[in-house]
Amino acid sequence: MRILGLTCASHPAIMSPIMETPLTEKRPPHIVGAGICCLDHIVVAPSIPWGDTAQVREYCMQGGGLVATALVACARLGAQTELLSMLGGDVTADQILDELEDEHVSAVHVARHPSGASPFSFIHVDEKTGERTIFHRRAAGMEWRGTNRDLIARAQVVLVDDYYPDLVRDVTRAAHDCGVPIVADTTPTEANADWIRSVDVMIAPRHYLRAGGFGDDLDRALDAIHAMGPATAVITLGSDGWEASDANGRSRGAAFPVNVVDTIGAGDVFHGAYAFGMAKGWPTPRCAEFASAVAAIKCTRVGGRTGIPTLPQTLEFLRAHSPNDWANA
């Protein structure tokens, strides 16, 4: 058994309090996402030397992509969701859109380019550890034509990734102008610093520590994210949990014990669930703990979306495993 997902523990002197906010509002959260939607071909098999052969234990094909999967998580939790993205005129795009419709993610604003090629991935999941290796074919022959600002203005939270640079720059500019909070899924670099300054919450993966030259110094990494603009910085650490920083101080979470089958999409799901919590008005530690539970449950099934839980399933999990009060949620 490995551990992934999070349960909240804190720096005693600087942890901001987690306050209970009931999930009884009549209208569902409205979350808009801008970024990649693709198709994943997933095989579960042992890891072998290059050039060798192995038996496939399990295979599935399903939609993927950072923001698209994050929105699927939001929709499973009960949010109203809308996606801005680009696809080609191929069968791959048809399969992607059919699944988004089944997941109740609106794709009305996904631009189709008849001569373009939609992105897809072949993903190997190690049958012993659940870790994955991705082989990705990028989108080609597509150009972003502009954002519907009324759509952005109606959102409570906007989710972005950096797959389509023109799209993310356009959407973050619109959200910033409309005063809509932005959650970003990317590794901060000088190349994307121009739009990161408009981001409110930056959730960066663990490899940001290595890419930024921070070693194991989480405090320095969080400070570096703040220096780029985001008021809230979160670094996800896989089986080591997460660490976050905002105006109320620093907080951290350890990992929930779950039987990890597949880690595909865990970070995407974390971002989506975090955005859901933001739309409910929760503070940073509560958003992170909730997101951690959703991501941990996801990892118990093969596929980036197969195991994403509903809101009642997540709350049941939290009530059973969290030291914090989820009894009245």
- pLDDT tens readout for residues 249-286: 999 998 888 998 888 999 999 999 999 999 999 999 99
Residue 228 covered by a domain:
yes
Would you state the pLDDT for residue 27?
85
CA-based end-to-end distance of the chain: 29
The DSSP element (H or E) to which 258 belongs, if any, is: none
CATH of the domain at 165: 3.40.1190.20
Question: Is the distance from CB of 253 to CB of 242 less than 8 angstroms?
Answer: yes
Residue 328 covered by a domain:
no
Would you state the pLDDT for residue 240?
92
Would you state the pLDDT for residue 5?
36
Residue 159 covered by a domain:
yes
Mean pLDDT of 221-231: 97
With the C-alpha atoms ordered 102, 236, 278, 228, is the resulting torsion angle positive or negative? negative
Residue 52 covered by a domain:
yes
With the C-alpha atoms ordered 220, 222, 224, 226, is the resulting torsion angle positive or negative? negative
Would you state the pLDDT for residue 7?
31
How far apart (Å, rounded) are the C-alpha atoms in residues 6 and 165? 31
- Write the CA distances from 96 to 65, 184, 311, integer angstroms: 10, 22, 24
Can you give the residue range of the structural domain that contains 52? 7-321
Residue 144 covered by a domain:
yes
Question: Is the distance from CB of 275 to CB of 304 less than 8 angstroms?
Answer: no
Question: Is the distance from CB of 309 to CB of 318 less than 8 angstroms?
Answer: no
- Total of domains in the chain: 1
Q: Write out pLDDT tens, residues 65-116.
A: 999 999 999 999 999 999 999 999 999 999 999 999 999 999 999 999 999 9
How far apart (Å, rounded) are the C-alpha atoms in residues 224 and 247? 15
Band the pLDDT of 22: cuts 50, 70, 90. very low
pTM value? 0.90
Residue 211 covered by a domain:
yes
Residue 2 covered by a domain:
no
Question: Is the distance from CB of 23 to CB of 265 less than 8 angstroms?
Answer: no
pLDDT over threshold 50, residue 133: yes
Residue 155 covered by a domain:
yes
How far apart (Å, rounded) are the C-alpha atoms in residues 304 and 202? 21
